[in-house]
Structure 1
Amino acid sequence: MIPSPPLSPAAVPPLPVPVPRQKQDADYVFFELTRSICPECRRVIDAHILLRDNKVYMRKRCPEHGTFEGLVYGDAQAYTSASRFNKPGTIPLEFTTPIKDGCPHDCGLCPDHQQHACLGIIEVNSACNMDCPLCFANAGAGFNLTLAEVEGILDHLVATEGNPEVVQFSGGEPSIHPQIIPMIRAAKARGIRYVMLNTNGKRIAEDDAFLAELNEVRPSIYFQFDGFESATYERLRGEADILPKKLRALDRLAEIGLGVVLVPAIDREVNLHEVGAIVQFAIKHPAVHGINFQPAFMSGRHGTHDPMTRLTIPDIVQAMAAQTEGMFTPQDFVPVPCCFPTCNSVTYALVDGDNVLPLPRLVNVEDYLDYITNRVVPDLAGDIKTALEGLWSSSAVPGTDKAAQQFALSCEACGIPEALDMGAFAKQVFMIMLQDFMDPWTFNQKNLMKCCKEILLPDGKQIPFCAYNNVGYREQARTQLEARERKRNQARRAGTAFIPEPLTFDFTPKRPTSGHSPTPLLHVLPKKARATVKKAVVDGPRH
């Protein structure tokens, strides 16, 4: 056999040249590491704060339920620069719970918490005279706190705060609680300067006797008001025709001279386009001294949503600037230092007829509330700084003499006369606040530890608002308070003494029972949806 001649070098096929792999840059900036919760099981997990396309996102991974990502803030530049407004916290006189399991499972308040209660919230009931599709409290039949329980809560708040500034009665719908007027009196009797009633306004619109009682006890009114369109109220409140009642309630409050803060829940797909109209209406209405815009957050009862497109504070401010033709601009809003600065922004304006002049255009508020670069600057006027801190606080109540005095002291350039009728001047000072509450997709332990809005419970518990709504405190508290009410009623019928068991919270992970599908969370759905789900559970799936 004759061997084949060797191939010439030209005939040898060339070996493929390996293409070097290219490293890729991430499409985001890793900004910080924090702790959050799984939106499914509420397990505490690590979370990354990421900056991408001038927005801020949270990404986290649960070992059981996978990766989640949600939009946190619509302006990365504002978010990253907000730390200079982070005021040192004020420590309460007393803590209630020890550090045992770590944040967020030791509330509260425990010694790890970094701020006192600027605002104490007492949910006096779970019942409501509405059935809103959007309701962080999952309002529905359940419990009513007694007057004695509320008095105990107030006494504990005085013990921890010394001189509490603001208490808000909420629910449910607190106006339908049979003892709400005595509860307001109890708060005022303890020297709490500002007592607020959080209400949808229905009873105020319809009940003359209740209006007269409000005129006697004179709380500030924190008033649910989402816009003017029927579609807005149908989607957010389940009542397309409720606006006339709300307008009637506001007019009746104006007649008795009670100050009102409007509280619109703003959803990107529902009523973002109404922000400007709400501002224009509020400034002109004689009862209204401020607005607290709240981006809709997905705690409790809510519809389907995309956490990547949720609404944030910068989105509302930008919409406001466009819809008011510059009456208010993003530069007019400054973060609130007492909580974590990205949670809350506010501005004040002097209103004189059609003229609206935001305070930050007269005073460089940022210079006074910058706690990093200006901490050692000696020439900042102490009185002005103190006044601005009072205004830029979660305890500020617009329409009051105190707010007017702080505004006047802050505004040396306003030409305000020294001899000033503060009651009349207070009506010219208008506040716009934006409050972004966290939900399970955006829950940030760092922010939580400086929360200054606390849910006040019987037995001395004070739970930061966003922990109460997201971690599991609300569900456990409601179950125990409902059981407490049943036992109290049983004891009353039997003629025996009733000694309630203290509220306790347990976050030990519960293993699901094998072989069974999870029970639908009916309590997070409005009534119509609950009925549909119940029928499906009873009838079984349709094929």
Structure 2
Amino acid sequence: MEEFRVTQAPAPRRKVDRDEVFVEFTKSICPMCKTPVDAQVNIRDNKVYLRKRCRDHGEFEALVYGDAEEYLASARFNKPGTIPLTFQTEVNDGCPSDCGLCPEHKQHACLGIIEVNTGCNLDCPICFADSGHQPDGYSITHEQCERMLDAFVASEGEAEVVMFSGGEPTIHKHILDFIDLAQARPISNVNLNTNGIRLATDKNFVAELGKRNRVPGRSVNIYLQFDGFDERTHREIRGRDLRTFKQRALDNCAEAGLTVTLVAAVERGLNEHELGAIIEYGIDHPAVRSVAFQPVTHSGRHVEFDPLNRLTNPDVIRLINEQRPGWFQKGDFFPVPCCFPTCRSITYLLVDGEPGSRTVVPIPRLLNVEDYLDYVTNRVMPDAGIREALEKLWSASAFMGTTTTEEKLRATAEALDCADACGIDLPQAVKGLSDKAFMIVVQDFQDPYTLNVKQLMKCCVEEITPDGRLIPFCAYNSVGYREQVRAQMSGVPVAPVAPNALPLAGRLTTTPYGSKTTRTES
């Protein structure tokens, strides 16, 4: 008798939801070969990630914004761009291959950067410019500097700010001449980006900078590397203990009447605990009028990092709020509308009292900044004068110590409203505004892992090259333009610096039925 077997039918497969929300399609580059590739932005666990795939090197993912809710809300602060007076390149291959500026770029240059050399008196483990290398180093000449300044003026007409950088610009033997060349042109303000060693050891040089800061209608401001107070911070970011040099540099600047911005490169697990102390130190020092926090840009030379566990702007702002809760709270910082609004956030403070008993009030608590800088959902045009003032203050061209910033702060102060609870003598604070106002900037520059062409096309911080191009800062450091210029200037072929991500970080494979991702060995 034939035996029959009953077999149970397999359970039907069930569809599953992805563990992320797709936000948009964009373009990026492969972090290994720098080839332009398709990319997508996704939200997972209230964080924003950029994912892309290179045919030769596989799939990569990086954290780009630590707060998805704020990322989506920031779109309201996207100001219409301004067309520059001239473009330097044509559109051939599309962004990011035609820099710049090409006619498809969406913004003019709020800030122009001239790198006067590649040499440096430090050998920092973290250096997006990969400075100090020979024989592919170079220094620009007077003629090249003039050509670069003229290209900036041709694009901008009356330019707000030019920054001299490097390398270390203070070791260039003609740096004072370059500042004179800038001040002889319709450029209102010069920023000098420096590690501070020469400022600490050459008081005559600082005095010469101070003289140039007193030229009518012009200013010279110091953009000083200042990463924290722990010896470990200095050694791991700059390669040596520079704490004494920083203090001397600041004291010399105060004596010469120079305004200083403290610029902290912030790295996950290294100096993120020092942000509040840096702000408090800056407020208490007579030379310092602002602090800029920059999550480390993982271009050029840098320590190992995990692209999925990096610091982003909202992370830095949250740390500031946690470390000085008596001074800061959620909502004190606003995105900068002239660039893409997720790139930079700013707040201004009114400061009163003596060290140890300071009263600090962020201006956004005294004036509804959102009413003026919301370009999408605000249907009622607010006061045009206040809006214009705030647009200048919430801008990449805003630096404390400049005439424009002080004028716009004073115009804004006239609209401030302070309840008794604010704890500050508002009329007296406004009267002494030049001494009582303080600025904090949080700026996350893109690197080969996080580069998003959508943001790049709105960039308003431009590298001015010796051949007269204006190249968006993040493209210059990530796409290969820096190596191109270095090779042209030195005559020595320059290979791109390979990314230094952790071996398992950012490289992904995708499971067949769902979107969960697994890191694989690169």
Residue 349 (structure 2) aligns with:
349
For the pair 1:451 / 2:459, whether they are aligned, the reply is yes
For the pair 1:478 / 2:479, whether they are aligned, the reply is no
Q: Is this contact kept in 2: 1:399–1:429, CA < 8 A?
A: no
Show the 5 A alignment for 1:73-472: 73-140=65-132, 141=134, 142-218=137-213, 219-239=220-240, 241-353=241-353, 354-374=358-378, 376-378=379-381, 380-411=382-413, 412-414=415-417, 424-472=432-480
Residue 540 (structure 1) aligns with:
none
SS in 2 for 1:278: helix
When structure 1 is superposed on structure 2, of 453-462 and 339-348 the one drifting more is 453-462
Compared with structure 1, are the counterparts of its residues 352 and 400 closer, same or farther at alpha carbon in structure 2 (3 Å cutoff)?
farther
Q: Is this contact kept in 2: 1:317–1:329, CA < 8 A?
A: no
Q: Is this contact kept in 2: 1:120–1:455, CA < 8 A?
A: yes
User: Which structure's CA Rg is the greater one?
Assistant: 1
| Distance in 1 between residues matched to 2:442 and 2:183, nearest whole Å | 27
Alpha-carbon deviations, 1:147-187, whole Å to 9, x = none? 11111111111111110000000000000000000100110
Give how far 1:399 is off.
2.9
Q: Which amino acid is 2:490 matched to?
A: E
Alpha-carbon deviations, 1:98-124, whole Å to 9, x = none? 111111111111100000000000000
Give how far 1:408 is off.
2.7
Compared with structure 1, are the counterparts of its residues 419 and 521 closer, same or farther at alpha carbon in structure 2 (3 Å cutoff)?
closer
| Distance in 2 between residues matched to 1:475 and 1:326, nearest whole Å | 46
| Distance in 2 between residues matched to 1:74 and 1:24, nearest whole Å | 26
Q: Is this contact kept in 1: 2:352–2:429, CA < 8 A?
A: no
| Distance in 2 between residues matched to 1:263 and 1:523, nearest whole Å | 26
| Distance in 2 between residues matched to 1:364 and 1:46, nearest whole Å | 39
Alpha-carbon deviations, 1:337-396, whole Å to 9, x = none? 00000000000011112111100001110111000012x414x11111111101000001
Q: Is this contact kept in 2: 1:264–1:293, CA < 8 A?
A: yes
Q: Which amino acid is 2:384 matched to?
A: G
| Distance in 2 between residues matched to 1:326 and 1:367, nearest whole Å | 25
| Distance in 2 between residues matched to 1:414 and 1:148, nearest whole Å | 51
Q: Is this contact kept in 1: 2:32–2:498, CA < 8 A?
A: no
Q: Is this contact kept in 1: 2:300–2:497, CA < 8 A?
A: no
Compared with structure 1, are the counterparts of its residues 25 and 420 closer, same or farther at alpha carbon in structure 2 (3 Å cutoff)?
closer
Give how far 1:325 is off.
2.1
SS in 2 for 1:293: strand
SS in 2 for 1:309: coil
| Distance in 1 between residues matched to 2:51 and 2:430, nearest whole Å | 52
| Distance in 2 between residues matched to 1:469 and 1:327, nearest whole Å | 35
SS in 2 for 1:338: coil
Q: TM-score, normalised by structure 2?
A: 0.89
When structure 1 is superposed on structure 2, of 400-409 and 331-340 the one drifting more is 400-409
Give how far 1:405 is off.
2.6
SS in 2 for 1:299: coil
Q: Which amino acid is 2:97 matched to?
A: H
Give how far 1:521 is off.
6.8
| Distance in 2 between residues matched to 1:224 and 1:442, nearest whole Å | 24
Q: Which amino acid is 1:70 matched to?
A: A
1:45 aligns with one of 37, 44, 58: 37
Q: Is this contact kept in 2: 1:94–1:160, CA < 8 A?
A: yes
Alpha-carbon deviations, 1:466-487, whole Å to 9, x = none? 0000100000100111129xxx
Q: Which amino acid is 1:461 matched to?
A: R
| Distance in 1 between residues matched to 2:25 and 2:193, nearest whole Å | 36
| Distance in 1 between residues matched to 2:190 and 2:69, nearest whole Å | 37
Show the 5 A alignment for 1:21-60: 21-60=13-52
Q: Which runs of 5+ in 1 are unaligned?
A: 485-504, 506-518, 526-543
| Distance in 2 between residues matched to 1:466 and 1:473, nearest whole Å | 10
Compared with structure 1, are the counterparts of its residues 521 and 110 closer, same or farther at alpha carbon in structure 2 (3 Å cutoff)?
closer
Q: Which amino acid is 1:108 matched to?
A: G
Give how far 1:417 is off.
5.2
When structure 1 is superposed on structure 2, of 226-235 and 323-332 the one drifting more is 323-332
Runs of 4+ in 1 over 4 A off after TM superposition: 414-421, 519-525
Q: Is this contact kept in 1: 2:264–2:292, CA < 8 A?
A: yes
| Distance in 2 between residues matched to 1:213 and 1:34, nearest whole Å | 48
Aligned residues: 479
Give how far 1:523 is off.
9.4
- Pick 1 or 2: higher relative contact order, CA cutoff 8 A, min separation 6: 2
Q: Which amino acid is 2:380 matched to?
A: V
User: Whose helix proportion is higher, 1 or 2?
Assistant: 1
Q: Is this contact kept in 1: 2:299–2:499, CA < 8 A?
A: no
Residue 509 (structure 1) aligns with:
none
Alignment RMSD, CA only? 1.9
Q: Which amino acid is 1:452 matched to?
A: C
Compared with structure 1, are the counterparts of its residues 38 and 521 closer, same or farther at alpha carbon in structure 2 (3 Å cutoff)?
closer
